[in-house]
């Protein structure tokens, strides 16, 4: 097992392990990235950042690239429909000194696809290559690419996309093992991750899809041969998944996280958001996180209901005190 846990190099960036936090819109802001890094994630990607927004200097867009506490390697994920848009955004992106730039070619959300970005790029593999080449030629930052297996089951073109991306200079490729049409159902096709890695044995391949527990992470690494894994939905409200995966891979029994520690993590998370966004906005943003943190915690339904109306840090504290620790 221990051989599955190892450091990894992406371009000129050396990372201490192969356990990553995936980019998640609405979740992986600088506060939560810092929390996950403190619990053992080796790399944490930003939320999706609009290249067009960066090029225009949109304040709400560029703030997504702010570096979190203890975030040595900032990994920025950009989404754009073409290389020209990305090129116009590079000056603004580089102002945040990213260690890695990721290109989103996997987001299945209609409002992203209708712009020609995200999974829409899977229908234009050559454009993906142009975007990668543009970043490689204009920066010294390693480029990673996030894809799905294809647009739909009739167009599983992940091998072609990967070949073009690597030929253009990509340092790593992450694949969510579903097509765009499959969204998040049914079960992810991990066998396609194994196939991808077998075709590119000397390239860094990162696996994603249906990683909800530490056991899932261990199984993906062992069954597919990917070099690294990227936790997405499984990490929402569960920053502990990284240390638990490390424990399993090291032949140890993962510790059970007590409710008291989850409450401490919630309050630390909330306080970080208050510093970042102000109390009112932070309290609204934190509601979805608390529901995820408390999933499976006995007798937490009432607390989750109370925080859906909480507008102050004290209101959160009062609600959480009702949990049985």
By annotation, the residues acting in catalysis are 107
Tokens for 243?
């240390």
Cα gap 167→133, rounded to integer Å:
9
- Name every residue whose Cβ is closer than 8 Å to that of residue 227 and which is 6 or more positions away in sequence: 8, 18, 172, 197, 204, 205, 206
Cα gap 147→165, rounded to integer Å:
10
Distance, CA of 90 to chain centre: 21
Distances (CA, A) of 180 to 124, 177, 236, 275: 14, 10, 21, 36
- Name every residue whose Cβ is closer than 8 Å to that of residue 7 and which is 6 or more positions away in sequence: 14, 15, 16, 17, 18, 42
Buried b (16+ CB within 10 A) or exposed e, 127-156: bbbbbbbbbbeeeebbbbbbbbbbbeeeeb
């Amino acid at each position: 097992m221990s051989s599955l846990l190892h450091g990894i190099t992406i371009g000129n960036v050396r990372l201490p392990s192969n356990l990553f936090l995936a980019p998640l819109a609405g979740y992986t802001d600088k506060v939560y990235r810092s929390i996950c890094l403190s619990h053992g994630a080796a790399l944490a990607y930003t939320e999706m950042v609009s290249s067009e927004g960066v090029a225009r200097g949109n304040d709400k867009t560029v703030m997504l690239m702010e570096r979190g506490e203890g975030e040595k390697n900032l990994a920025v994920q950009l989404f754009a429909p073409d290389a020209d848009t990305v090129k116009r955004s590079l000056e603004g992106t580089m102002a945040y000194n990213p260690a890695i730039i990721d290109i989103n070619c996997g987001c299945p959300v209609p409002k992203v696809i209708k712009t020609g970005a995200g999974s829409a790029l899977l229908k234009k593999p050559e454009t993906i290559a142009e975007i990668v080449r543009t970043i490689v030629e204009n920066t010294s930052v390693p480029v990673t690419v996030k894809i799905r297996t294809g647009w739909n089951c009739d167009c599983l073109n992940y091998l072609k996309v990967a070949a073009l991306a690597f030929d253009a200079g990509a340092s790593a490729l992450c694949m969510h093992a579903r097509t765009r049409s499959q969204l998040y159902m049914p079960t992810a096709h991990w066998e396609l991750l194994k196939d991808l890695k077998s075709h590119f044995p000397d390239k860094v391949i990162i696996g994603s899809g249906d990683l909800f527990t530490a056991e899932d992470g261990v199984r993906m690494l062992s069954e597919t041969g990917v070099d690294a894994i990227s936790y997405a939905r499984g990490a929402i409200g569960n920053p502990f998944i990284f240390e638990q995966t490390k424990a399993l891979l090291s032949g140890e029994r993962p510790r059970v996280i007590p409710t008291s520690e989850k409450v401490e993590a919630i309050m630390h998370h909330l306080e970080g958001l208050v510093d970042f966004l102000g109390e009112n906005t932070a309290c609204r943003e934190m509601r979805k996180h608390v529901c995820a943190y408390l999933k499976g915690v006995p007798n937490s339904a009432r607390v989750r209901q109370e925080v859906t109306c909480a507008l102050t840090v004290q209101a959160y504290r009062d609600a959480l005190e009702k949990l049985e620790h």
